[in-house]
Amino acid sequence: MDLRGRSFLKESDFTPAEWLGLIDLAAQLKAETAAGQEPQRLTGKSIALIFEKTSTRTRCAFEVAAFQQGAHTTYLDPSSSQIGHKESVADTARVLGRFYDGIEFRGDLQTHVEELAEHSGVPVFNGLTDSWHPTQMLADALTIREHTGKPFNQVVHAYLGDGRFNTGRSLLVSSAMLGMDVRIVAPPAYQPDAEAVQIAQSFAAQTGARITITDDVEAGVAGADVISTDVWVSMGEPKSVWNSRVEDLRDYQVNTRVMELTGNPDAIFMHCLPAFHDLETAVGRQVFEATGMHALEVTDEVFSSRQSVVFDQAENRMHTIKAVMVAMLT
């Protein structure tokens, strides 16, 4: 697998074999790190990290992964650059491409990360946009492999909640690339758009994946090996959508009943985090005051259970992001 010089913008830019190759590379790098025998393949490289949206896992994963591989990073938050304000994305790309070996971007528009790749002349990595979340999908796949012990084409992966945005769309496509039985379980108004479904179906024709999009929770989770969800209100959305969103999605909360409906005592729970599973956050308390719900997309009983692998999943962000940088910069 030779991905040198390529950008990492969305899942569908890669073949299923290349996607699997990145997961295999991440597993290799994780094992090297655990053994304390990790060659530094990125020594002398410099990587710009552009964050229009705040982050915990994505920023830390890129910084730690780069450090462990010998690379230097520069963090640019919204106040640290002129991108989109006094300088166009294209002009910013042309400048940063002269300084850096690679550029990470986390922000709203997919067109921005695409422009950076087009004009910078160096590999660009999508840390998240409103449309796609490919680094998260590699971490999810590595976690599924580690915890189910099954080949991907034998895994049943059900996602509950809002399937319209980056996580739901990317999960549908990535799971299809890996040949899974993938189900998006959401009310009709919250199901993935036609573009994402078409992309997933095209991969399913290659890999044998099975795709189900349904509003029936019981049927959607039956036999699942993996139950995934995400927050019900995405970053940047106004607070005014909370009440209607909670009302629309409350029947799609991941709780003990949902885990039992899988009929699989070994089913695992995954969430890309942060999760609103208790009242220990300001947002959680505000939502409780407005709706009376102690948890939103997942109950604390499930989040804190033996079936929850969310923190292994979070750790794997670092190993899989490291694999992306190593594959594209060396």
Residues labelled catalytic:
106, 133, 136, 230, 272, 317
List all residues 6 or more positions away from 94 whose beta carbon is below 8 Å from its beta carbon: 119, 120
List all residues 6 or more positions away from 108 whose beta carbon is below 8 Å from its beta carbon: 52, 53, 129, 130, 236
- Rounded CA-CA distance 269/23 in Å is 20
- Rounded CA-CA distance 246/318 in Å is 32
Collapsing DSSP to helix, strand or coil, 51 comes out as strand
Radius of gyration of the chain (CA): 19
For 180, the token pair is: 């899974």
List all residues 6 or more positions away from 295 whose beta carbon is below 8 Å from its beta carbon: 253, 276, 277, 278, 284, 303
